[in-house]
Amino acid sequence: MCNLYSNTMPVEAMRQLFGVSPAQDELGNAEPLPAIFPKGRAPIVGMSEDGTRWLKNSHWGFVLPQVSKKTGKPIQPKAVNNARDDKLRTSSFWRKSFEERRCLVPATSFCEAKGRKPATYVWFGVTGEGDRPPFAFAGIWRPFVGNYGGEHRELVTSSIVTTTPNELVRETHPDRMPMILQPEDYETWLTGDPDMAFDLIRPYPASAMVVHQQGEDLKSDRAGL
């Protein structure tokens, strides 16, 4: 799973890497994000009906309404920020978004915690040029309109697809890892039919990944700035 990642790419770099025109960029003068947590601001790349790509801020986590077990009244919704690959086509919570609203989630590293009290935070990335080569997670998105945190909200929400871990990530998290897409697969993930998109789901090669840093209380990848 993934509950913390970073995206320290400048907006212009994201537009160039993911083929988004300035007219379709809704981020504005967004600052680098060295720590993105569930319910936080998460830029995503999606596809319009006319085939153009857009870049928007999303709320990381599909909103799942909840009610109090004691009173039966609505309480703060839960943000479901990871979508398991084995649930994408079987769960009504994920299926329509996987079929119709796939997205790219730009990132420069992601973190998994190992152990407790204290936990060791391990920041992973991909190999390539520069200190923190950019990449994209496979994601899905959907709109949310309703009461959230005591006020009416209209949100674009996103979730990151997770799959089985490769050999590198397994040492820290033995069950899941976020699905990193190969650049040549971006278009298929965004526009291919569900079968084509599902066939892309696999662990990213461990040989093409690195550990950027690790240690106690490293809840931000500011070293990537």
Instruction: Look at residue 74 in the predicted model and tell me its pLDDT.
Output: 77
CA 76 to chain centre: 22
Instruction: Look at residue 225 in the predicted model and tell me its pLDDT.
Output: 78
Instruction: Look at residue 190 in the predicted model and tell me its pLDDT.
Output: 98
Beta strand pairing call for 82-84 and 151-163: parallel
Instruction: Look at residue 47 in the predicted model and tell me its pLDDT.
Output: 96
Q: How far is CA 159 from CA 51, 97, 139, 224, in A?
A: 22, 10, 6, 23
Collect the ranges in the chain with pLDDT lower than 70.
1
Enumerate the domain spans of the chain.
5-224
Instruction: Look at residue 151 in the predicted model and tell me its pLDDT.
Output: 84
Strand partners, 62: 80
Give the tens place of pLDDT for each residue, 27-67: 988 899 999 999 999 999 999 999 999 999 999 999 988 88
What topology is assigned to 5-224 in CATH?
A: hypothetical protein yedk fold (3.90.1680)
What pTM was estimated for this model as a whole?
0.95
Q: How far is CA 68 from CA 75, 79, 93, in A?
A: 6, 16, 20
Instruction: Look at residue 144 in the predicted model and tell me its pLDDT.
Output: 95
